[in-house]
Chain A
Amino acid sequence: MAISSATELRQRLETSWPVESIQRQQVYLVVIALLAAYPAVYHLLSQSPLANETVALLPRMETMVGVLYFALFAMSFDFISGYTGYLSFGHAAFYGTGAYTVLLIANGKVPLLPPETPFVATLLIGAVLATVLAVVIGLVSFRLTGVYFAMITLGFTQVMYVFVRDWDYVGSNPRDGIALSGARGFELGVPYVDQLTVALGTLTGDTLTLFGHTLGTTTVSFYAIGVVVLLCYLGMQRIVHSPFGRVMVAIRENEERAEAIGYDTFRYKLGAFAISGFFGGVAGGLLAGFKRSVTPETGFYFLTGGDALLASIIGGFGTLAGPLWGHLFDEVIREFLSKQGQGGGLLPYLREALSEGVLTTELVGGLTVEGFITAALNGHASLYVGVVFVLFVLYVPDGLVGTVRDRLGGPVARRLPERLWGER
Chain B
Amino acid sequence: MIPVDSLSVALLQTGFVDGLLDFLQPDVLAGVVVRGLAKSAIYIMIAAGLTLIFGLLGVLNFAHGALTMIGAYLGGLVMVLTVANGTGPWTRLALFFVAMTVVFGLLAALGGSIELSLIRPLYDRPPIYQILLTFGLTLVLEELVRIVVQFYGLQPIAKWQQALGTIPVFLETTQSLGPLSVRGLVFFEILLGALSVAGIWGFLTRTRYGLFIRAGSEDSEMAEALGIDVRRVFTVVFALGAGIAGIAGTLLMWDQVWGASVPLAADTLLPAFVVVIIGGLGTFRGTVVGGLVVGLVDATTTWWFQNVVVTWTWLPEVAIFLILVVALIVRPQGIYGVEEVGGH
Taking Cβ atoms with an 8 Å cutoff, the residues of A that contact B are: 85, 87, 140, 143-148, 150-152, 154-156, 158-159, 162-163, 165-167, 169, 255, 303, 306, 309-310, 313, 375-376, 380, 382-383, 385-387, 389-390, 393-394, 397
Query: CA A127 – CA B342 in complex, angstroms?
Result: 32
Checking A151, A255, A306 against B273 with a beta-carbon cut-off of 8 angstroms, the contacting residue is A151
Complex contact A146–B342 (CB within 8 A): yes
> Considering the complex, which residues of chain B in the window 134-180 have a beta carbon less than 8 Å from any beta carbon of chain A?
135-140, 142-144, 146-147, 150-151
Stretch at the interface among B215-223, B234-242, B315-323: B315-323
Query: CA A135 – CA B68 in complex, angstroms?
Result: 36
Also in contact, A380 and B328, with CB within 8 A (given A154-B273, A158-B270): no
Q: Measured between C-beta atoms, what is the minimum distance from B289 to chain A in Å?
A: 17
Checking B118, B127, B139, B325 against A159 with a beta-carbon cut-off of 8 angstroms, the contacting residue is B325
Query: CA A394 – CA B129 in complex, angstroms?
Result: 9
Complex contact A151–B129 (CB within 8 A): no
Also in contact, A393 and B273, with CB within 8 A (given A152-B328, A158-B321, A162-B317): no
Number of interface residues of B (CB under 8 A): 46
Complex contact A380–B147 (CB within 8 A): yes
The 3 closest A-B pairs by CB, nearest first: A386-B139, A383-B143, A166-B314
Query: CA A255 – CA B129 in complex, angstroms?
Result: 19
> Considering the complex, which residues of chain B in the window 294-322 have a beta carbon less than 8 Å from any beta carbon of chain A?
313-314, 317-318, 321-322
Checking A87, A147, A162, A390 against B281 with a beta-carbon cut-off of 8 angstroms, the contacting residue is A147
Also in contact, A375 and B132, with CB within 8 A (given A144-B328, A152-B325, A156-B325): no
Query: CA A323 – CA B299 in complex, angstroms?
Result: 42
Complex contact B139–A389 (CB within 8 A): yes
| A-B contact list, 6 entries, CB within 8 Å | A159-B325, A166-B313, A383-B144, A389-B132, A393-B129, A397-B129
Interface membership of B86, Cβ < 8 A: no
**Extra contacts besides A143-B332, A144-B328, A394-B121 (8): CB < 8 Å:** A143-B329, A151-B328, A155-B322, A309-B135, A382-B142, A382-B143, A390-B133, A393-B133
CB-CB < 8 A to B317: which residues of A? 162, 166
Complex contact A163–B318 (CB within 8 A): yes
CB-CB < 8 A to B142: which residues of A? 382
Also in contact, A380 and B146, with CB within 8 A (given A147-B281, A154-B273, A155-B321): yes
Query: CA A260 – CA B129 in complex, angstroms?
Result: 27
Interface membership of B343, Cβ < 8 A: yes
Checking A147, A155, A382 against B325 with a beta-carbon cut-off of 8 angstroms, the contacting residue is A155
- Measured CB to CB, the nearest residue on chain B to A394 is B121
Query: CA A148 – CA B278 in complex, angstroms?
Result: 10
Query: CA A255 – CA B343 in complex, angstroms?
Result: 11
Checking A146, A154, A309, A383 against B132 with a beta-carbon cut-off of 8 angstroms, the contacting residue is A309
Query: CA A159 – CA B328 in complex, angstroms?
Result: 14
In this complex, the member of A145, A156, A165, A394 whose beta carbon has the largest number of chain B beta carbons within 10 angstroms is A394
Interface membership of B344, Cβ < 8 A: yes
- Measured CB to CB, the nearest residue on chain A to B144 is A383
Checking B147, B313, B324 against A155 with a beta-carbon cut-off of 8 angstroms, the contacting residue is B324
Complex contact A387–B140 (CB within 8 A): yes
Query: CA A375 – CA B151 in complex, angstroms?
Result: 7
Complex contact A162–B118 (CB within 8 A): no
Complex contact A394–B133 (CB within 8 A): yes
CB-CB < 8 A to B281: which residues of A? 147-148
CB-CB < 8 A to A148: which residues of B? 277, 281, 328, 332-333, 342
Looking at chain B's contact residues, is the secondary structure mostly helix, strand, loop, or mixed? Answer: helix
Complex contact A162–B318 (CB within 8 A): yes
Query: CA A389 – CA B62 in complex, angstroms?
Result: 14
Encode contact with A along B234-266: 1 for CB under 8 Å, 0 otherwise: 000000000000000000000000000000001
Interface membership of B10, Cβ < 8 A: no
- Measured CB to CB, the nearest residue on chain A to B313 is A166
Q: Measured between C-beta atoms, what is the minimum distance from B191 to chain A in Å?
A: 31
Query: CA A154 – CA B277 in complex, angstroms?
Result: 12
Complex contact B129–A155 (CB within 8 A): no
In this complex, the member of B118, B136, B146, B151 whose beta carbon has the largest number of chain A beta carbons within 10 angstroms is B136
Interface membership of B206, Cβ < 8 A: no
Complex contact A306–B135 (CB within 8 A): yes
Checking B2, B133, B147, B277 against A383 with a beta-carbon cut-off of 8 angstroms, the contacting residue is B147
Query: CA A167 – CA B146 in complex, angstroms?
Result: 31
Q: Measured between C-beta atoms, what is the minimum distance from A303 to chain B in Å?
A: 8
Query: CA A397 – CA B121 in complex, angstroms?
Result: 12
> Considering the complex, which residues of chain B in the window 95-126 have a beta carbon less than 8 Å from any beta carbon of chain A?
118, 121-122, 125
- Measured CB to CB, the nearest residue on chain A to B126 is A85
Complex contact A159–B136 (CB within 8 A): no
- Measured CB to CB, the nearest residue on chain B to A144 is B332
Q: Measured between C-beta atoms, what is the minimum distance from A310 to chain B in Å?
A: 8
Interface membership of B190, Cβ < 8 A: no
Interface membership of B198, Cβ < 8 A: no
Q: Measured between C-beta atoms, what is the minimum distance from B13 to chain A in Å?
A: 19
Query: CA A145 – CA B144 in complex, angstroms?
Result: 34
- Measured CB to CB, the nearest residue on chain B to A158 is B321
CB-CB < 8 A to B213: which residues of A? none
- Measured CB to CB, the nearest residue on chain A to B58 is A147
- Measured CB to CB, the nearest residue on chain A to B326 is A155
Encode contact with A along B1-38: 1 for CB under 8 Å, 0 otherwise: 01000000000000000000000000000000000000
CB-CB < 8 A to B132: which residues of A? 309, 313, 389, 393
Checking B2, B121, B143, B332 against A169 with a beta-carbon cut-off of 8 angstroms, the contacting residue is B2
Complex contact A85–B324 (CB within 8 A): no
Complex contact A393–B136 (CB within 8 A): yes
Query: CA A146 – CA B150 in complex, angstroms?
Result: 38
- Measured CB to CB, the nearest residue on chain A to B133 is A393
CB-CB < 8 A to A385: which residues of B? 139
Query: CA A90 – CA B124 in complex, angstroms?
Result: 27
Complex contact A390–B146 (CB within 8 A): no
Interface membership of B293, Cβ < 8 A: no
Q: Measured between C-beta atoms, what is the minimum distance from B126 to chain A in Å?
A: 8
Interface membership of B131, Cβ < 8 A: yes
CB-CB < 8 A to A309: which residues of B? 132, 135
Query: CA A394 – CA B343 in complex, angstroms?
Result: 23
Complex contact B140–A159 (CB within 8 A): no
- Measured CB to CB, the nearest residue on chain B to A301 is B266
CB-CB < 8 A to B277: which residues of A? 147-148, 151
In this complex, the member of A146, A147, A156, A162 whose beta carbon has the largest number of chain B beta carbons within 10 angstroms is A147
Complex contact A145–B344 (CB within 8 A): yes
Complex contact A147–B328 (CB within 8 A): no
